[in-house]
């Protein structure tokens, strides 16, 4: 079946991104992998390419294109090359929706030009030590000062992608206690300057995969946040988080599909070149059957993410649909990548081969953005169960 998700503009963008990856990322990617993060200067290159401004209005320096399809191209092309753009994904996929949804005109004038230029990289801090997916259980607090000019932020966060390089951090904190009727009540969102006194970045976490994204622990000790940097209304943060989780989960779903598709590409290339017992590995019936089965799963995942992308662009992707897409594609990617690594034999276990890195990178897809178990809970609830 002919794919209809992308048009000529998307394909032209794809060619640009593919050439950029080959010139600017592939030659130095091993250095990033060893360092555990992409260099900060790389984000300026992405900004110059226009990556950060695609969905930002023209008045703030963006392209004003209200579509996630260009980001979908980025997922496909980075996976195809076996690379990643560091922690920049969270800047656009997680940071931007909150600015567009919640920021006042005054805030957009302050935030967006530097967002587009890469001068200020954004991330979001939700998860806390001991809370995991239970966001309503967060302990970080933000108390309004007596003179009403600022909030005082105290607490800690962990597993924060983009946490090392971030210049602006959207921090979720309690501004009032939960109620007996609703333990989610009382959470607010703040845009915090990471250079503020009392804000500190702790360990850069040593992860199983996603080695080039900077993931960190954060601490806040009496951090003063001007009232002008409250994002949205006080105490409505949990609602805002739920609203934007659909786009976050779409991103994870599409990224997982792209990884699965790339795994088949890597395995196909390997088995055609690798010779054992006097013939290419691709000549064995088992190899053909394994790759055929993987391709069928990738085709199904593609249909799911393409439908979800169209729904997201139309503003119609529901939380349950996003959860379903994430659950399905991440499970597909898990199976496909594992089978493709198996076809590499011992070489598949070596980090110099992209399938090994892909195997490690993929594992977190069933955890972050809500675990597979959380996705099943959301889907079941939508079914009336």
Active site (catalytic) residues: 248
Residue 146, classed as helix, strand or coil, is: coil
Judge residue 105's burial from the number of C-beta atoms within 10 Å of its C-beta, 0-12 exposed, 13-18 middle, 19 or more buried.
exposed
**Whole-number Å distance between alpha carbons of 29 and 230:** 38
CA dihedral defined by 29, 34, 36, 40, rounded to 10 degrees? -50
DSSP label at residue 53:
G
8 A C-beta contact, residue 273 and residue 220: no
State the Cα torsion 97-101-103-106 to the nearest 10°: 110
Between CA 167 and CA 177 the distance in angstroms is 29
Distance CA 138, CA 117 (A): 33
For 301-330, give the DSSP string.
HHHHHHHHHHHHHTT---HHHHHHHHHHHH
Q: What are the distances in angstroms from CA 257 to CA 9, 21, 166, 167, 335?
A: 22, 20, 27, 30, 11
* Euclidean distance between CA atoms 196 and 220, whole angstroms: 10
CA 205 to CA 252: how far, in whole Å? 20
């Amino acid at each position: 079946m002919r794919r209809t998700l992308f048009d000529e503009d998307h394909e032209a963008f794809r060619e640009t991104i593919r050439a950029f990856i080959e010139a600017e990322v592939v030659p130095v990617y091993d250095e990033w992998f060893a360092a555990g993060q992409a260099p900060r200067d790389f984000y300026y290159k992405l900004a110059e390419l226009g990556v950060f401004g695609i969905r930002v209005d023209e008045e703030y320096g963006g392209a004003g294109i209200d579509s996630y399809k260009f980001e979908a191209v980025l997922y496909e092309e980075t996976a195809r090359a076996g690379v990643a753009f560091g922690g920049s994904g969270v800047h656009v996929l997680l940071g931007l929706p909150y600015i567009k949804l919640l920021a006042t005109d005054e805030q957009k004038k302050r935030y967006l030009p530097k967002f587009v230029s890469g001068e200020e990289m954004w991330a979001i801090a939700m998860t806390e030590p001991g809370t995991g997916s239970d966001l309503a259980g967060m302990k970080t607090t933000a108390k309004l000062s007596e003179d009403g000019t600022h909030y005082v932020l105290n607490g800690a966060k962990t597993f924060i992608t983009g946490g090392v390089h971030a210049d602006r951090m959207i921090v979720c904190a309690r501004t009032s206690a939960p109620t007996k009727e609703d333990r989610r009540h009382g959470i607010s969102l703040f845009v915090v300057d990471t250079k503020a006194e009392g804000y500190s970045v702790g360990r850069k976490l040593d992860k199983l995969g996603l080695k080039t994204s900077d993931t960190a622990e954060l601490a806040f000790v009496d951090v003063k946040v001007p009232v002008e940097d409250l994002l949205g209304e006080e105490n409505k943060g949990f609602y805002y988080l739920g609203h934007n989780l659909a786009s976050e989960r779409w991103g994870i779903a599409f990224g997982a599909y792209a990884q699965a598709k790339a795994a088949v590409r890597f395995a196909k290339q390997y088995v055609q070149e690798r010779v054992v017992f006097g013939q290419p590995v691709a000549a064995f019936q088992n190899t053909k059957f394994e790759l055929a089965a993987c391709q069928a799963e990738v085709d199904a995942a593609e249909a799911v993410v393409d439908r979800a992308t169209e729904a997201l662009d139309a503003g119609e992707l529901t939380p349950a649909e996003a959860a379903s897409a994430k659950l399905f594609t991440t499970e597909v990617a898990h199976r496909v990548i594992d089978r493709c690594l198996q076809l590499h034999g011992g070489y598949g276990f070596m980090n110099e081969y992209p399938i090994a890195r892909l195997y490690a990178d993929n594992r977190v897809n069933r955890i972050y953005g809500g675990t597979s178990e959380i996705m099943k809970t959301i889907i079941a609830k939508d079914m009336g169960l």
